[in-house]
Chain A
């Protein structure tokens, strides 16, 4: 059923959020929003930037970024 404008106005912030079945972070479950939590696509869904960088950080620790390049004196 559609909502009337009056019904829409009466919705609380939480009710409004749930109404749209928003995408949630696969790891922590926070509701994702581009400008506030970030929304990063990963395999199987999306993650917030906090979780994404945490995972990225752990991954980097296992596989440090390193590409061959010129060094001093080479």
Chain B
């Protein structure tokens, strides 16, 4: 996973290019913009700073997308068709990940009777199912791009302790007991043996103050999907961050794209 950082100046440079390309459209220049979600709003804000005095000529109809329900709405305007009907519209987003939100918003705006839609996203993930007419940066499926933010999030494992790969010297360490027969019958030696005979097998343990408090054992497929075979933790009230599995789960996510739907979990 790579993290790509875009400075405000780099974002502005992409936007200046976009504005030039829109200006080249002449009469077709979209004077109604529909920023999609907060990240689209931030990009539209940055674009307005580049537009300068002509910003007052552009109308913005913000578009919201409720992720849980998949509903598209226009929070500023109960009748957005009054503003957009028959006009050329620019859909503007910060990042397109799956393409799902973009596709739903595109169809919803199209249904309002607009003349033409052009679209822009500062960042597009390569595996996205929908692509805008203009975009700035293409990133890999497991990459993330950070831009126009006051702070960048660090990866976090847990407040205390550390996560490490199981090593030979752990063979003599007392095994964690979690009360689950399937797991309690393992020894560290079993897990070490499996790592030795299967190069794609990994076991990581969470250790604090010299004691093991949790582990996760998994296999990486050639496609780098993680198949979790076993995992348990012992609760550590003072550790914070939800304990060892929290730490282990984050550690895995930081290294690979954890395909949770392939993990054997219950929820």
Binding site for B on A (CB under 8 A): 1-9, 11, 13, 16-17, 19-23, 31-37, 39, 41-42, 44-46, 49-50, 53-61, 63-69, 71-72
Contact = CB atoms under 8 A, between A and B. Distances in A.
B39 interface: yes
B83 to A, nearest CB: 5
Interface residues of B, number: 71
Q: Is the interface of B mostly helix, strand, loop or mixed?
A: mixed
Interface of B: 32-33, 35, 37-39, 41-42, 44-45, 48-49, 51, 54-64, 66-68, 73, 75-77, 80, 83, 95, 97, 144-146, 149-150, 153, 178, 180, 182-183, 186, 189-190, 193-194, 216, 228-233, 235, 241-246, 249-250, 263-267
A17 B38 contact: yes
Contacts of A54: 241-242, 246
Contacts of B180: 64, 66
Contacts of A21: 64, 66, 73, 75
Nearest to A69: B229
B189 A2 contact: no
A36 B80 CA distance: 30
A19 B40 CA distance: 12
Contacts of A19: 38, 41, 62, 75-76
Given A8-B45, A9-B55, A59-B266, A2 B233 contact: no
Contacts of A8: 35, 41, 44-45, 48, 55, 60
Contacts of B153: 35-37
B189 to A, nearest CB: 7
A65 B267 CA distance: 11
Given A2-B77, A23-B67, 19 more contacts: A2-B80, A3-B62, A8-B44, A8-B55, A8-B60, A9-B48, A20-B37, A20-B41, A21-B64, A37-B153, A49-B250, A56-B245, A61-B178, A64-B183, A65-B228, A65-B231, A67-B230, A71-B190, A72-B190
Q: Which of A2, A3, A61, A67 has the most CB of B within 10 A?
A: A2
B68 A45 contact: yes
Given A1-B77, A4-B60, A35-B146, A63 B266 contact: yes
B186 to A, nearest CB: 8
